[in-house]
Amino acid sequence: MKLTHPSLNFRRSAGFTLLEMVIVLGIIAMILGGAIFAMKGIQDAAKLKQVDSDFKSYESALSGYKLNAGTFPTTQQGLKALVDKPTSTPVPRRWVRIMDKVSLDPWGSEYTYRFPGKKRANDFEMISNGPDGLPNTPDDLSSQDE
């Protein structure tokens, strides 16, 4: 007859082995890695939505500028005309500060402003250089794109 001490059996069955803990941590690491990889696509989509939102905000601000000045700012005056009164012609007779500052696109570059626009000559055009930050590349986003 074999005699065993009850506390000895309890110690062997209580807790996890090192191998079990390593396996569980490995599974958790794989799940987190997959979640981070999936979130990259969500972040890129959010930046594109931010550009669309910025275009709409500037469209509203530029419409207010046009109501006061009679025309959109020229390409030379740019979006800074919404913050500081332009000194180059045409200088608006009625000017009101519409924005506190000109914001950057989600990738940290300044928006390019053009009036008249390339596609619609009677309207302004705003351009984001996109993720690569370089002008005139396929990833550029324009307010005149449909």
Tell me the per-residue pLDDT of 19-42, one tens digit each, with 9 for 90 and over.
Answer: 999 999 999 999 998 888 878 778
The reported pLDDT for the residue numbered 52 is: 93
83 pLDDT band, cuts 50/70/90, is: very high
Looking at the chain, the whole-number percentage of residues with pLDDT higher than 90 is 53
DSSP string spanning 100-145? Answer: SSPPBPTTSPBPEEESS-SS-TTS-EEEE-TTTT-SSSTT-EETT-
The answer, yes or no, to whether residue 13 has pLDDT greater than 80, is no
The reported pLDDT for the residue numbered 101 is: 93
Alpha carbons 141 and 49: distance in angstroms, whole number: 11
Query: May I ask the CATH class of domain 50-142?
Result: alpha beta
The answer, yes or no, to whether residue 12 has pLDDT greater than 70, is no
pTM higher than 0.75: no
The answer, yes or no, to whether residue 3 has pLDDT greater than 60, is no
Say how many C-beta atoms besides its own lie within 10 A of residue 129's C-beta. 20
Structural domain boundaries in the chain = 50-142
